């Protein structure tokens, strides 16, 4: 018998003794009261009852907290069964608590050792099953149950997809939504009259409204999923306990089924902030299958002093052990899509063991100390792998040669741009999101969708010597002045793109700029209008900023009309004309949305 049980037994014995004394005391008290002349037995019984009830009620109130049924010991295991909605057991599905991964047996049963530091139990959604959601109106993924001290059984019901495993689907990817609790600068026209609107309202009325228009153009029988790359919120403007759930419900307000990773600002080194993300979204390290892809999402934001974190991203030993288990149980024929917040291939606050990127124009940048170990795990998958992240607030398909591999890490531009200070990221890419098409283990399309921009508009053009509030491309990148040099900002470009300038019918390859630098257009605008973000963050003083999607061409005739034609790796061709170069430093697409 443990201490709690002994205490409970003693209290029950004491209560019984007190109850006996109560009755005796009541009877004695009654004898001292005058008898009822008409019915002495009735008077005596009534008095005894009244006194007994009074004393008993007082005693009950005092002892009630101690007389509750003792809390049973929690089981040393947590277990459950996975079944299809028709009751059929589901074997061979991975179940995890974020520390250990196991497969369900032939009867759909699983068992995990209970751990004090495990908060959720969840499963890897198999490729043939629907992604369950938080509600009928909130289509964000809900694949988990919270572990409680008293419950030891956690069952899951899986609904098969109507046509089985999907061979083709769309994936929308959102860099940092990063809604805050403050009112950011917002303009609706070519003026300096700001309009008061919350970040959540902007994300709903701009980003998600645009998403719904995009989804209308996707065939209704095409499955659509979504990924938020973290920093769903930032508590700039003060802590708001409901902010994470607000942005979750906003992201879930379309037909796509959406998952999220956790970002540094979802935590900022504070347990309270991280708990709010978990209350809204669930576990931080998990996986799911769609089509021929195995998606693995994890938290690579780790803080070493207050809100200061390692950059590039890192994983703990426990996370690496979990990742090895998850990948060991996954289908080796699939493509792995790793999803996390902070880039693993670049960063200027390295942890011990991180390696320099080895690129002359990216001096001071390092790769994660875990990168080699992670890539060795990914090498075992025949479908290959993709690296997806956010965090940067600039678009960057970061490429490097690393230990015999050519890596491309997709660093997605932010949906919030420069944290809602404008309509652009710090690289000049408009606020927006990405649309990937997957078929088998191949990506068959990948394009950027600027919020309220035409889907075919994939670039903006400038003149190198235009003055953008004291900034120019000519000064930043040592380009010729007075020569009519055209600069094309091709938002989603990488080394596979081919970009040409056409002058008088003749095609000329444009030269690509790459390295630590800045976008003159974005810097000049933010220098005047940004309120909460310092000038150093948006410009060349931010050594984290890498630019590699600017191209330039020096015309044979400075006054010639130039057409820029950009070819992506998927057969799409995009065009822009020098007639539409941006010359206005302030009242432009960074400032307000014209009617498009």
Q: What is the dihedral of CA 236, 239, 245, 249, to 10 degrees?
A: -40
Q: Which of 6-20, 432-446, 524-538 has the highest mean pLDDT?
A: 432-446
Q: Between β-strands 355-356 and 366-367, what pairing exists: parallel, antiparallel or unpaired? A: antiparallel
Give 423's contacts (C-beta < 8 A, 6+ positions apart). 417, 430, 431, 451, 589, 590, 591, 592, 593
pLDDT range class, residue 491, cuts 50, 70, 90 = very high
Nearby residues of 114 by Cβ (< 8 Å), 6 or more positions away: 74, 75, 76, 77, 78, 147, 152
Nearest CA to 569 out of 493, 509, 461 is that of 493
Q: What is the pLDDT of residue 7?
A: 52
| Contact (Cβ atoms closer than 8 angstroms) between residue 128 and residue 160 | yes
Domains 77-130+141-164 and 131-140+165-450 share a fold: no
Ordered by start, the domain boundaries in the chain are 3-66, 77-130+141-164, 131-140+165-450, 459-580
Tell me the three state secondary structure of residue 588: coil
What is 77-130+141-164's CATH superfamily? Carboxypeptidase-like, regulatory domain (2.60.40.1120)
Residue 85 near residue 157, CB atoms below 8 Å? yes
**Residue 48: is its pLDDT beyond 90?**
no
pLDDT tens per residue across span 54-73: 444 554 554 455 445 555 56
**Which pLDDT band holds residue 11 (cuts at 50, 70, 90)?**
very low
pLDDT score, position 43: 40
Distance CA 365, CA 22 (A): 80
CB-based contacts of 174, cutoff 8 Å, min separation 6: 207, 226, 227, 228, 229, 251, 390, 412, 415, 433, 434
Half-sphere exposure of 357 (CA within 13 A, CB side): 30
Looking at CATH, the fold of the domain delimited by 131-140+165-450 is given as Purple Acid Phosphatase; chain A, domain 2 (3.60.21)
List 501's β-bridge partners, or say none: 508, 564
Structure tokens belonging to residue 72: 């049973």
Q: What is the pTM of this model?
A: 0.87
pLDDT by residue (tens digit) across 194-235?
A: 999 999 999 999 999 999 999 999 998 999 999 999 999 999
């Amino acid at each position: 018998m443990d201490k709690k049980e002994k205490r409970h037994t003693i209290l029950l014995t004491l209560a019984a003794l007190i109850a006996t004394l109560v009755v005796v005391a009541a009877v004695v008290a009654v004898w001292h009261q005058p008898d009822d002349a008409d019915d002495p037995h009735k008077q005596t019984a009534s008095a005894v009852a009244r006194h007994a009830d009074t004393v008993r009620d007082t005693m009950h109130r005092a002892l009630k907290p101690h007389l509750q049924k003792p809390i049973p010991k929690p089981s040393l295991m947590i277990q459950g069964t996975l079944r299809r909605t028709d009751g059929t057991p589901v074997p061979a599905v991975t179940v995890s608590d974020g520390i250990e991964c196991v497969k369900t047996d032939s009867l759909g049963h699983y068992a995990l050792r209970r751990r004090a530091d495990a908060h959720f139990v969840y499963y890897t959604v198999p490729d043939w099953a629907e992604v369950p959601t938080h509600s009928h109106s909130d289509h964000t993924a809900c694949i988990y149950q919270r572990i409680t001290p008293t419950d030891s059984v956690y069952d899951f019901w899986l609904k098969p997809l109507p046509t089985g495993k999907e061979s083709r689907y769309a994936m929308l990817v959102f860099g940092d939504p990063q809604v805050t609790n403050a009112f950011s600068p917002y303009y609706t026209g070519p003026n300096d009259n700001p309009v008061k609107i919350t970040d959540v309202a902007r994300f709903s009325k701009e980003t998600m409204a645009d998403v719904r228009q995009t989804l209308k153009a996707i065939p209704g029988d095409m499955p659509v999923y979504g990924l938020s790359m973290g920093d769903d919120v930032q508590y700039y403007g003060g802590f708001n306990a409901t902010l994470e759930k607000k942005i979750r419900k906003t992201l879930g307000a379309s037909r796509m089924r959406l998952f999220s990773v956790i970002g540094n600002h979802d935590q900022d080194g504070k347990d309270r902030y991280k708990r709010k993300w978990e209350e809204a979204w669930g576990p931080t390290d998990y996986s799911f299958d769609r089509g021929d892809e195995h998606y693995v999402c994890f938290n690579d934001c780790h803080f070493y002093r207050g809100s200061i974190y390692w950059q590039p991203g890192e994983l703990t030993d426990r996370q690496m052990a979990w990742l090895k288990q998850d990948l060991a149980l996954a289908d080796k024929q699939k493509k792995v899509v790793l999803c996390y917040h902070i880039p693993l291939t670049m960063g200027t606050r390295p942890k011990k063991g991180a390696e320099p990127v080895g690129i002359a124009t990216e001096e001071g940048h390092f790769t994660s100390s875990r990168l080699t170990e992670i890539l060795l795990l990914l090498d075992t998958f025949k479908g290959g792998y993709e690296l997806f992240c956010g965090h940067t607030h600039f678009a960057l398909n970061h490429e490097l040669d690393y230990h015999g591999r050519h890596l491309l890490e997709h660093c997605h531009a932010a949906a919030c741009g420069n944290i809602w200070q404008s309509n652009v990221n710090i690289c000049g890419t408009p606020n927006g999101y990405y649309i990937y098409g997957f078929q088998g283990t191949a990506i068959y399309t990948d394009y950027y969708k600027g919020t309220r921009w035409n889907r075919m508009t994939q670039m903006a053009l400038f003149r190198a010597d235009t003055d953008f509030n004291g900034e120019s491309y000519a000064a930043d990148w040592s380009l010729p002045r007075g020569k009519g040099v055209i600069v094309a900002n091709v938002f989603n470009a990488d080394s596979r793109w081919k970009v040409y300038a056409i002058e008088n019918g003749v095609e000329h390859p444009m030269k690509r700029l790459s390295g630590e630098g800045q976008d003159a257009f974005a810097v000049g605008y933010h220098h005047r209008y940004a309120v909460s973000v310092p000038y150093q963050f948006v410009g060349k003083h931010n050594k984290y900023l890498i630019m590699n999607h600017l191209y330039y061409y020096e015309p044979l005739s400075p006054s010639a009309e130039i057409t820029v034609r950009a070819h992506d790796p998927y057969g799409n061709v995009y065009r822009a004309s020098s007639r539409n170069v941006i010359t206005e430093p302030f009242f432009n697409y960074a400032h307000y949305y014209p009617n498009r």
